[in-house]
Amino acid sequence: MPPQFEFLMRIAADVGEVVTMGGGPLGERRVVSIDGGTFEGPQLAGRIEPGGADWQIVRADGVLDIDARYVLRTAAGAAIRVVSQGYRYGPPEVLASLASGEAVAPERYFFRTVMRFETGAPDLLWLNRSIAVASAERKARQVLLESWRLR
Protein backbone atom coordinates (compact mmCIF):
# COMPACT_ATOMS: atom_id res chain seq x y z
CA MET A 1 0.00 0.00 0.00
CA PRO A 2 1.53 3.38 -0.96
CA PRO A 3 2.09 5.87 1.86
CA GLN A 4 -0.34 8.70 2.45
CA PHE A 5 0.39 12.07 3.98
CA GLU A 6 -1.63 14.54 6.03
CA PHE A 7 -0.53 18.11 6.64
CA LEU A 8 0.89 18.42 10.16
CA MET A 9 2.27 21.95 10.60
CA ARG A 10 4.23 24.91 9.29
CA ILE A 11 7.31 25.79 11.31
CA ALA A 12 9.20 29.09 11.24
CA ALA A 13 12.41 28.53 13.21
CA ASP A 14 14.56 31.54 14.10
CA VAL A 15 18.22 30.58 13.73
CA GLY A 16 21.55 32.06 14.78
CA GLU A 17 24.84 32.39 12.95
CA VAL A 18 26.63 29.33 11.63
CA VAL A 19 29.46 28.30 13.98
CA THR A 20 32.13 26.30 12.17
CA MET A 21 33.87 23.69 14.31
CA GLY A 22 36.43 22.61 11.70
CA GLY A 23 36.99 19.52 9.64
CA GLY A 24 36.67 15.96 10.78
CA PRO A 25 36.71 12.51 9.20
CA LEU A 26 33.11 12.92 7.95
CA GLY A 27 33.43 16.54 6.79
CA GLU A 28 33.21 20.07 8.15
CA ARG A 29 31.26 20.21 11.41
CA ARG A 30 28.98 23.18 12.06
CA VAL A 31 26.29 24.12 14.55
CA VAL A 32 23.44 26.59 14.16
CA SER A 33 21.42 27.61 17.22
CA ILE A 34 17.63 27.46 17.09
CA ASP A 35 16.62 30.54 19.06
CA GLY A 36 12.82 30.48 18.88
CA GLY A 37 10.03 30.73 16.36
CA THR A 38 6.48 29.51 15.85
CA PHE A 39 4.54 26.53 14.52
CA GLU A 40 0.95 26.11 13.42
CA GLY A 41 -1.17 23.31 12.01
CA PRO A 42 -4.67 21.83 12.23
CA GLN A 43 -3.94 20.07 15.55
CA LEU A 44 -0.88 21.94 16.85
CA ALA A 45 0.17 25.54 17.42
CA GLY A 46 2.63 27.36 19.63
CA ARG A 47 6.22 28.50 19.85
CA ILE A 48 9.70 27.04 19.55
CA GLU A 49 11.66 27.16 22.79
CA PRO A 50 15.14 28.71 22.62
CA GLY A 51 18.03 26.30 23.18
CA GLY A 52 17.74 23.95 20.24
CA ALA A 53 20.42 23.47 17.61
CA ASP A 54 21.13 22.01 14.20
CA TRP A 55 24.33 19.94 14.29
CA GLN A 56 25.50 19.85 10.69
CA ILE A 57 28.16 18.12 8.62
CA VAL A 58 29.17 19.53 5.25
CA ARG A 59 30.24 16.38 3.41
CA ALA A 60 33.00 16.20 0.81
CA ASP A 61 30.35 15.90 -1.92
CA GLY A 62 28.81 19.23 -0.83
CA VAL A 63 25.72 17.74 0.82
CA LEU A 64 24.71 19.33 4.13
CA ASP A 65 23.78 16.56 6.58
CA ILE A 66 21.23 18.00 9.03
CA ASP A 67 20.58 16.86 12.60
CA ALA A 68 18.29 19.42 14.28
CA ARG A 69 16.92 18.95 17.79
CA TYR A 70 14.57 21.38 19.48
CA VAL A 71 11.45 21.72 21.65
CA LEU A 72 8.01 22.93 20.60
CA ARG A 73 5.74 24.40 23.27
CA THR A 74 2.03 24.28 22.43
CA ALA A 75 -0.40 27.06 23.32
CA ALA A 76 -1.71 24.72 26.05
CA GLY A 77 1.80 24.37 27.52
CA ALA A 78 2.72 20.88 26.29
CA ALA A 79 6.36 20.25 25.37
CA ILE A 80 7.20 18.28 22.21
CA ARG A 81 10.77 17.17 21.52
CA VAL A 82 11.62 17.21 17.79
CA VAL A 83 14.44 15.37 16.04
CA SER A 84 14.68 16.45 12.40
CA GLN A 85 17.30 14.85 10.16
CA GLY A 86 17.85 15.24 6.45
CA TYR A 87 19.80 16.80 3.60
CA ARG A 88 20.27 20.09 1.83
CA TYR A 89 22.13 20.25 -1.48
CA GLY A 90 22.13 22.01 -4.81
CA PRO A 91 24.35 23.62 -7.43
CA PRO A 92 27.47 25.24 -5.91
CA GLU A 93 26.42 28.76 -6.94
CA VAL A 94 23.01 28.32 -5.26
CA LEU A 95 24.61 27.05 -2.05
CA ALA A 96 27.03 30.00 -2.11
CA SER A 97 24.08 32.39 -2.38
CA LEU A 98 22.37 30.70 0.59
CA ALA A 99 25.60 30.89 2.62
CA SER A 100 25.87 34.63 1.99
CA GLY A 101 22.29 35.20 3.22
CA GLU A 102 20.80 35.97 -0.19
CA ALA A 103 17.17 35.07 -0.89
CA VAL A 104 17.05 31.91 -3.02
CA ALA A 105 13.88 30.32 -4.39
CA PRO A 106 13.41 26.96 -2.61
CA GLU A 107 12.89 25.10 -5.88
CA ARG A 108 16.55 25.82 -6.76
CA TYR A 109 17.87 23.43 -4.08
CA PHE A 110 16.85 20.25 -2.24
CA PHE A 111 16.08 20.65 1.48
CA ARG A 112 14.11 17.83 3.12
CA THR A 113 14.02 16.29 6.58
CA VAL A 114 12.41 13.38 8.39
CA MET A 115 10.93 14.35 11.74
CA ARG A 116 10.24 12.30 14.87
CA PHE A 117 8.57 13.51 18.05
CA GLU A 118 8.42 12.79 21.77
CA THR A 119 5.90 14.15 24.27
CA GLY A 120 4.22 13.21 27.52
CA ALA A 121 1.11 15.31 26.85
CA PRO A 122 -1.88 12.92 27.06
CA ASP A 123 -3.74 14.48 24.12
CA LEU A 124 -0.63 14.41 21.90
CA LEU A 125 0.63 10.87 22.50
CA TRP A 126 -0.10 10.07 18.84
CA LEU A 127 3.00 12.15 18.01
CA ASN A 128 5.20 9.54 19.76
CA ARG A 129 4.36 7.06 16.99
CA SER A 130 4.39 9.55 14.12
CA ILE A 131 6.93 10.18 11.40
CA ALA A 132 6.74 13.35 9.33
CA VAL A 133 8.51 14.52 6.19
CA ALA A 134 9.28 18.20 5.82
CA SER A 135 10.09 20.35 2.84
CA ALA A 136 12.20 23.29 3.95
CA GLU A 137 13.42 26.70 2.86
CA ARG A 138 16.45 28.56 4.24
CA LYS A 139 16.13 32.29 4.83
CA ALA A 140 18.89 34.53 6.20
CA ARG A 141 17.74 34.15 9.84
CA GLN A 142 14.97 31.55 9.58
CA VAL A 143 14.25 28.06 8.39
CA LEU A 144 10.70 27.51 7.14
CA LEU A 145 9.35 23.95 7.10
CA GLU A 146 6.11 22.43 5.87
CA SER A 147 5.67 19.13 7.67
CA TRP A 148 3.52 16.23 6.51
CA ARG A 149 2.67 13.26 8.74
CA LEU A 150 3.09 9.85 7.17
CA ARG A 151 -0.14 7.84 7.51
Q: Are 145 and 134 spatial neighbours (Cβ–Cβ below 8 Å)? A: yes
CATH of the domain at 56: 2.40.160.20
Q: Concatenated DSSP letters for 64-89?
A: EEEEEEEEEEETTS-EEEEEEEEEEE
Q: What are the pLDDT digits (tens) for 43-97?
A: 999 999 999 999 999 999 999 999 999 999 999 999 999 999 999 999 999 999 9
Does residue 39 have a pLDDT over 90?
yes
State which residues form the domain around 129: 5-150
As a whole number of angstroms, the distance between CA 114 and CA 50 comes to 21
Q: What is the pTM of this model?
A: 0.93
Does residue 101 have a pLDDT over 90?
no
Q: What is the pLDDT of residue 30?
A: 96
Q: What are the pLDDT digits (tens) for 119-143?
A: 999 999 999 999 999 999 999 899 9
Total domains in the chain come to: 1
Q: What is the pLDDT of residue 99?
A: 86
| Residue 25 CB neighbour total at 10 angstroms | 4
Q: What is the pLDDT of residue 100?
A: 87
Q: What is the pLDDT of residue 91?
A: 95
